[in-house]
């Protein structure tokens, strides 16, 4: 067997056993991606990003910060401000509450007002006059979902955020990605043509590909590896063609105590003891 092929097989075996190196890291960067010739978001100038999500976003922003520090080869250029909260979509209509979350998180990091929002949200609790959405096929529910996303985007924009980016939701067992409420609602929001709203990374595909290895439980909770997938996809999206494989591999080689990070964020947001 040629030595190069043997080396690749050994690396693949290691990645599947310890989940430290993803098979994609053996593929040349950008081989299956369509991106502008340079990063739109990581320009080398100081910038801050505010993350708005729910409980599933309590941890991956810490990983994204490490990715950006490694990418920049120095800390302090890019700052990730995590304003995620346990509040559901039904509570997004209160801009003053959102402003408090963002302002408090910004003060804690000592960062300038963020210009880019990274949103990873679900639409639980959204419905119309008939009550909560019953099925993923409920198009009135999708319109309600698009309205909720727009309210969030406009509230963030009013706080000075110039770009509001929405990722697709991670995989849920048995879900049809083409009919998921979040995906249809996001498509409808984008069709409204708001110039400060755009699509973020696709999180459904990578988490589906690594199901069930990326999941800690049947109810959709991600384990450390799965959370790293989210951080990686956001990094790749922000870095575009300038994403570097050694930066991603460094993430998977690092150990994180996700329970401690999650609990620490909950305390900072006033959501825990």
pTM above 0.85, yes or no: no
140-183 pLDDT, tens digit each: 678 888 998 998 999 889 888 999 999 998 988 776 666 677 88
**Rounded to whole angstroms, how far apart are CA atoms 265 and 101?**
12
Please check the confidence at residue 207 and state whether its pLDDT lies above 90.
yes
Coil, helix or strand for 198?
Answer: strand
Question: How many other CB atoms sit within 10 Å of the CB of residue 184?
Answer: 21
Coil, helix or strand for 155?
Answer: helix
In 3D space, the residue among 251, 249, 273 whose CA is nearest the CA of residue 262 turns out to be 273
218-240 pLDDT, tens digit each: 667 899 999 999 999 999 999 99
Output the pLDDT for position 94.
56
Per the document, the length of the chain is 273
Which of 51-65, 96-110, 113-127, 174-188: highest mean pLDDT?
A: 51-65
Long-range contact pairs involving 269-272 (C-beta distance under 8 Å, separation at least 24): 269/83, 269/84, 269/85, 269/86, 269/101, 269/104, 269/105, 271/85, 271/86
- In the structure, how many helices (H) and strands (E) does the chain have? 9, 7
Q: The tokens of 67 are what? A: 């990715």
Q: Which residues, in sequence order, are CB contacts of 177 under 8 Å at separation 6+? A: 168, 171, 183, 204, 208
Please check the confidence at residue 35 and state whether its pLDDT lies above 80.
no
Q: Quick one: which H or E segment has residue 66?
A: helix 60-72
| Residue 227 contacts residue 21 (beta carbons within 8 Å) | no
In 3D space, the residue among 149, 76, 165, 80 whose CA is nearest the CA of residue 117 turns out to be 165
Select the more confidently predicted residue: 162 or 135: 162
Give burial (CB, 10 Å; 0-12/13-18/19+) of 79: buried
Please compute the mean of the pLDDT values over residues 54-75 and round it to a whole number.
94
**C-alpha 62: how far from its chain's center?**
11
Q: What are phi and psi of 117, to 5 degrees?
A: -110, 130
Proportion of the chain above pLDDT 70, given as a percent: 70
**Rounded to whole angstroms, how far apart are CA atoms 267 and 273?**
6
Please check the confidence at residue 1 and state whether its pLDDT lies above 60.
no
Peptide bond into 212 cis (omega under 30): yes
Please check the confidence at residue 106 and state whether its pLDDT lies above 90.
no
Please check the confidence at residue 111 and state whether its pLDDT lies above 90.
no
**Rounded to whole angstroms, how far apart are CA atoms 89 and 39?**
31
Please name each of the domains of the chain with its CATH number. Answer: 48-268 (3.40.50.1110)
Output the pLDDT for position 25.
40
């Amino acid at each position: 067997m040629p030595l190069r092929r043997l080396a690749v097989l050994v690396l693949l075996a290691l990645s599947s056993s310890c989940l430290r190196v993803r098979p994609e890291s053996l593929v040349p960067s950008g081989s299956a991606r369509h991106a502008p010739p340079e990063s739109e978001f990581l320009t080398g100038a100081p910038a801050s990003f505010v993350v708005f999500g729910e409980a599933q976003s309590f941890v991956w922003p810490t990983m994204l910060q490490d990715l950006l520090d490694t990418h920049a080869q120095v800390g302090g250029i890019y700052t990730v401000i995590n304003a995620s909260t346990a509040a559901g979509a039904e509570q997004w209509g209160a801009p003053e509450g959102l402003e408090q979350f963002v302002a408090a998180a910004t003060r804690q990091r000592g960062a300038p007002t963020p210009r880019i929002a990274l949103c990873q949200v679900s639409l639980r609790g959204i419905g119309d006059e008939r009550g909560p959405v019953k099925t993923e096929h409920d198009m009135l529910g999708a319109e309600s979902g698009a309205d909720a996303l727009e309210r969030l985007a406009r509230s963030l924009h009013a706080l000075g955020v110039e770009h509001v980016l929405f990722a697709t939701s991670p995989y849920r067992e048995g879900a049809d990605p083409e009919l998921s409420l979040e995906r249809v609602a996001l498509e409808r929001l984008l069709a409204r043509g708001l110039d400060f709203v755009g699509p973020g990374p696709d999180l459904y595909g990578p988490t589906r590909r690594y199901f069930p290895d990326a999941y800690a439980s049947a109810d959709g909770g991600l384990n450390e590896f799965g959370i790293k997938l989210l951080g990686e996809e956001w990094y790749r999206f922000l870095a575009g063609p300038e994403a570097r494989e050694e930066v991603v591999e460094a993430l998977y080689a690092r150990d994180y105590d996700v329970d401690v990070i999650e609990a620490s964020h909950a305390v900072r947001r006033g959501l825990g003891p």
